Structures are given as C-alpha cells and as structure tokens.
C-alpha cells in the first residue's frame, strides 16, 4: 500500500513538474487592443511580486494571476523585479516575462533632435513625442534650465542634436538633461581640439559660433570654410553680418522675408549693427559644426555667397565678392 502511494505521489509530482515546465514555456494568450501588436505593462516603483503578477493580468494577458505569483516566488527572483514601462509582445512566455522584468528590459521609444533646431522647435517636438511625459510643458525656460541643473543658463543651443531612446512614460525633463549633458561633452571635446590661434575665448563662444555655422551651411563640405570666414572676421574685428542671427533676433515677428530695414534695426542679435558674436547660440549645433568652429579651414576668404545649389562661393576681398553676388544672386 505504501509503495503504491509513493508511486502515485511520485507520478503526480512528475506530472505537475512536466505541466509546470510546459506552462512556463507556452506563449501567454493576449487580449490585444485593436490595431496593437503588444500590451503595455507599467510596474510602479515598490511593486511586489504579487502586485506585478496582477498588473500583468490587468494589462490584458489571459493567464492565471495565481500561477504567475507562484512562478515569480518559486523562481527566487521575485524581489529582483524592476519598475518600468514594458511591452508584452505576442509569443511572450511566463519564463520570458520574468526575465524581462528582472533585467529591466523596458520598452523604448526614440526621438530625434535635429541639427539647427532652436529651443522652440525642440519643445514642440517633445510635446509630440509618443509616451513621453510632458513635465516641461507649463514651465518657463528658466524653470526648465533649473530643473536640469543649469540655473541661469539660456537654453538656446545647450542641447545636443541626436537620436535619443527613452522608456515609455519617462519624463521629458530627464531627456533634456541627457541632451544637455551630451552637449557639454561634445562641446568640451571640440574645445580641446581648438586651434591655438582661435579668437574664441571660451567653450560658450565655441557653441555660439558653431550654431551660426550650423545655420549658414547648405553643403556639408563647405562647413569648415564657412567657419574659417567667420573666424577671420572675428580676428580682424569685422562685422559678422550673418542673416540667421538677425532672423533669430526677430523671433516670432519674422514672416520669412528678410528686408533691408531688418538689417538696419539694432538688437543684440543683429550682427550687421553689432560687432563680435551674438550673446547666445541661435540653434543646436551638431558635432560637425562644433568641430568646424574649433578647427576652421585655413582660408583667406572673408566673404561668401550662396550659389543656389546649396554650396557657397568664397571670396578674399570685396571686389571678388561683388562679382560673385552679381553672378549668383543677380544673374548678371
């Protein structure tokens, strides 16, 4: 009798183990929203294994919460489950689910900050970003900079243009902080490579010049030459006379048509009326523009004009420049 009972329980244990092993490796049925290929799962900080299992079921996984809780506890990893935003894709098994939660494999979205954008355009992109919490939406520029640890710093040009990945439900403030840190790093690296005879006095001035180069460059191969023109002008005390700074200074009043009176009306960003660099960057410069500002081309040119195909014609004196203007602008 005892032998039969032992055999029975042994078989039962084997069957239970086999069934458990089978269940652990079976894709969980998912109740997917219309048009979706996965379920969104939010695990809040401090969530324990039982609550995590319930959250999985609440998200739309057609699985026993009791079985999930048991699996989480028996695995020995229940306390290793990490808070975050996750995606449960079709084909996800209970075993794979736990590994995902323990490893913190959050679902990610991407946002691209484009070279040459100003801060207004950057903020608009953040508002449109999918699953990014707009914590900065109602904050002033000053408050945003304070939140990211840059109190008193003007935000223009202080964020590095790149593609950033972020977890669903994360804050746009956190992303801005990463972009600001990236600009600090990229600008410092470019400043370390600056030419010994540069007229620039600081990494801040480097970012300002790089932002102008970014806005003036139509063809990437001209970037260093354009930087060389502005560097030459700074060195000899010549007005920069660059339209993008004037346009930036006009702000929302600019209607797309830059007129003569705009060039003659003084403001801090009008480089036709004021010498030297403008007080702040006018856009987000990329790595190539930062390097061009630090290492401009050795050139005698102090003028350039757009050829109409994206490239520029460079001139070493006013006579050459006037001929270029007649040819490429006036068609003479």
69 has a pLDDT exceeding 70: yes
Tokens 């998200």, residue?
A: 59
pLDDT at 11: 44
Kindly give, in sequence order, each residue whose CB lies less than 8 Å from that of residue 21, ignoring residues fewer than 6 positions away: none
What is the overall mean pLDDT for the chain? 90
pLDDT confidence tier of residue 230, bands split at 50, 70 and 90: very high
Beta-bridge partner residues of 326: none
pLDDT confidence tier of residue 23, bands split at 50, 70 and 90: confident
pLDDT confidence tier of residue 2, bands split at 50, 70 and 90: very low
| H helix or E strand, kind and range, residue 53 | helix 49-59
Query: What average pLDDT does range 80-100 have in this prediction?
Result: 89
pLDDT at 9: 42
d(CA 128, CA 229): 38
d(CA 85, CA 264): 54
State pTM to two decimals. 0.80
């Amino acid at each position: 009798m005892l032998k039969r009972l032992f055999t029975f329980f042994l078989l039962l244990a084997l069957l239970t183990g086999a069934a458990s092993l089978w269940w652990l490796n079976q894709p969980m049925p998912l109740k997917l929203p219309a048009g979706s290929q996965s379920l969104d799962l939010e695990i809040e900080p401090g969530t324990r294994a039982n609550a995590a299992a319930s959250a999985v079921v609440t998200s739309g996984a057609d699985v026993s919460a009791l079985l999930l809780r048991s699996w989480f506890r028996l695995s020995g990893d229940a306390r290793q489950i990490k808070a975050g935003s996750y995606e449960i894709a079709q084909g996800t098994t209970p075993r794979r689910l736990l590994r995902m939660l323990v490893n913190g494999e959050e679902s990610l979205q991407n946002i691209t900050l484009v070279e040459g954008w100003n801060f207004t355009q950057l903020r608009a992109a953040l508002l449109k970003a999918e699953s990014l919490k707009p914590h900065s939406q109602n904050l002033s520029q000053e408050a945003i900079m304070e939140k990211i640890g840059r109190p008193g710093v003007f935000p223009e040009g202080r964020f590095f243009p790149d593609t950033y990945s972020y977890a669903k439900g994360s804050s746009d403030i956190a992303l801005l902080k990463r972009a600001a840190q990236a600009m600090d790093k990229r600008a410092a690296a470019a400043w370390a490579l600056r030419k010994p005879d540069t007229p620039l006095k600081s990494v801040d001035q480097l970012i300002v010049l790089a932002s102008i180069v970014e806005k003036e460059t139509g063809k990437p191969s001209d970037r260093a030459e354009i930087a060389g023109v502005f560097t030459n002008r700074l060195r000899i005390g010549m007005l920069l006379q660059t339209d993008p700074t004037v346009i930036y200074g006009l702000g929302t009043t600019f209607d797309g048509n830059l007129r003569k009176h705009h060039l003659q009306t003084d403001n801090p960003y009008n480089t036709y009326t004021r010498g030297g660099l403008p007080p702040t960057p006018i856009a987000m410069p990329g790595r190539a523009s930062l390097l061009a500002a630090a290492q401009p081309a050795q050139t005698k040119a102090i003028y350039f004009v757009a050829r109409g195909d994206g490239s520029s014609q460079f001139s070493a004196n006013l006579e050459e420049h006037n001929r270029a203007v007649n040819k490429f602008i006036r068609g003479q």
